């Protein structure tokens, strides 16, 4: 059902009026993890200033080590919703288990399924049965076909509001945190009718590569760019090395707006 053959026209995902997949290239930005109301509010206000409405932020964090910050959980979702309502934003946040999906529906506008859960089939089926857009991230070592099959699990349950997210894959290369598979973007656009987003933060893991990676993603046809922003990345509880601060975020968005105009 996700294939172009099944549906030749592009699927446009509508998030409170902000559309992904309609040909305009947007942004999904926000902190790696929700840490406090003040932190989220500061990022939201900066985003608002740039005309952005899609705010990401992790409340449930799938950390590689059990001793790392695991997120604020439901309290994090409360913070995201409160800030989003105050500032006029939509919330994109990861849900880790099928049991948490129902409660999350009151707080999030887009359910994120993270890389580590791309083949959590029960979670995929659960988010396939709800009426909320789903942002599905590519698994750490998933092939494009496995990624497409994961999206098929969601759509098979009735939900076609799916955004695919290329976030880098595991290779032998150590210069970047993951290897951004840029060719996945046109392949996914060709093989499926779903919008495709590129997460430049987790794919590169390097602040100095965020802008070039985003330019490449826009040039190759990505429907949106995802990147992380934190008011003070040095003290961030996760991904401290690659989150942008607010001035860096402003420069990033402004330069990319100019770049988009040249495409
Ligand atoms: C995230 O976007 O918050 C995240 C944890 O990314 P990924 O699932 O791609 O590692
Ligand atoms: Mn992160």
pLDDT in tens, 93-152: 999 999 999 999 999 999 999 999 999 999 999 999 999 999 999 999 999 999 999 999
Closest-lying ligand to the alpha carbon of 70? 1
**pLDDT digits 0-9 by tens, 188-234:** 999 999 999 999 999 999 999 999 999 999 999 999 999 999 999 99
Look at ligand 1, atom 6, and give the residue with the nearest C-alpha.
114
Handedness of CA 21, 22, 27, 33 (dihedral sign): negative
- The predicted pLDDT at position 189 comes to 98
Do 198 and 220 touch, CB atoms closer than 8 A? no
Count up the domains in the chain and report the number. 1
Whether 2 maps to a domain, the answer reads no
Whether 8 maps to a domain, the answer reads no
| Ligand 1 atom index nearest CA of 226 | 2
d(CA 77, CA 61): 12
Q: β-pairing, 26-30 with 18-20?
A: unpaired
β partners of residue 92: 56, 110
- ipTM, interface predicted TM-score of the complex: 0.99
- The predicted pLDDT at position 51 comes to 98
| Ligand 1 atom index nearest CA of 168 | 9
- The predicted pLDDT at position 188 comes to 98
Q: In 10 A of CB 28, how many CB atoms?
A: 26
162 is in which domain, residue-wise?
13-262
Closest-lying ligand to the alpha carbon of 236? 2
Whether 6 maps to a domain, the answer reads no
Whether 195 maps to a domain, the answer reads yes
Roughly how many angstroms between the first and final C-alpha of the chain, as a whole number? Answer: 31
What residues contact residue 134 under an 8 Å CB cut-off, 6+ apart?
A: 110, 111, 112, 113, 127, 128, 154, 159, 161, 162, 163
Ligand 1 centre to CA of 202 (Å) is 7
Whether the pTM exceeds 0.95: the reply is yes
What residues contact residue 261 under an 8 Å CB cut-off, 6+ apart?
A: none
For 187-198, give the DSSP string. HHHHHBSS-EEE
193: domain CATH number is: 3.20.20.70
**pLDDT digits 0-9 by tens, 139-179:** 999 999 999 999 999 999 999 999 999 999 999 999 999 99
Ligand 1 site, CB within 6 A: 32, 58, 62, 94, 114-116, 137, 167, 199, 202
Whether 162 maps to a domain, the answer reads yes
Whether 105 maps to a domain, the answer reads yes
d(CA 147, CA 261): 31
């Amino acid at each position: 059902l996700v294939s172009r053959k099944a549906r030749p026209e592009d699927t446009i995902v509508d998030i409170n009026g902000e559309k992904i997949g309609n040909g305009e290239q947007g942004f999904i930005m926000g902190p790696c993890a929700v840490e406090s109301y003040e932190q989220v509010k500061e990022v939201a206000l900066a985003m608002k200033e740039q005309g952005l409405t899609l705010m990401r932020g992790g409340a449930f964090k799938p950390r590689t080590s059990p001793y790392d910050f695991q997120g604020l959980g439901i309290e994090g979702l409360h913070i995201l919703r409160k800030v989003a309502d105050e500032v006029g934003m939509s919330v994109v946040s990861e849900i880790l288990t099928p049991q948490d999906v129902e409660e999350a529906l009151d707080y999030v506008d887009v359910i994120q399924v993270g890389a580590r859960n791309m083949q959590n089939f029960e979670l995929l089926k659960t988010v396939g049965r709800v009426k909320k857009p789903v942002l599905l991230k590519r698994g750490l070592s998933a092939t494009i076909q496995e990624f497409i099959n994961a999206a098929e699990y969601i759509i098979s349950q009735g939900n076609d509001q799916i955004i695919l997210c290329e976030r880098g894959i595991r290779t032998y290369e150590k210069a970047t945190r993951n290897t951004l598979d840029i060719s996945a973007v046109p392949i996914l656009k060709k093989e499926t009718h779903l919008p495709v987003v590129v997460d430049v933060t987790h794919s590169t893991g390097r602040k100095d590569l965020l802008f070039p990676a985003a330019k490449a993603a826009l040039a190759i046809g990505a429907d949106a760019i995802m990147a992380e922003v934190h008011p003070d990345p040095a003290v961030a509880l996760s991904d401290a090395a690659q989150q942008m601060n607010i001035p860096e975020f402003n420069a990033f968005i402004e330069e990319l707006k100019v770049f988009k105009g040249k495409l």
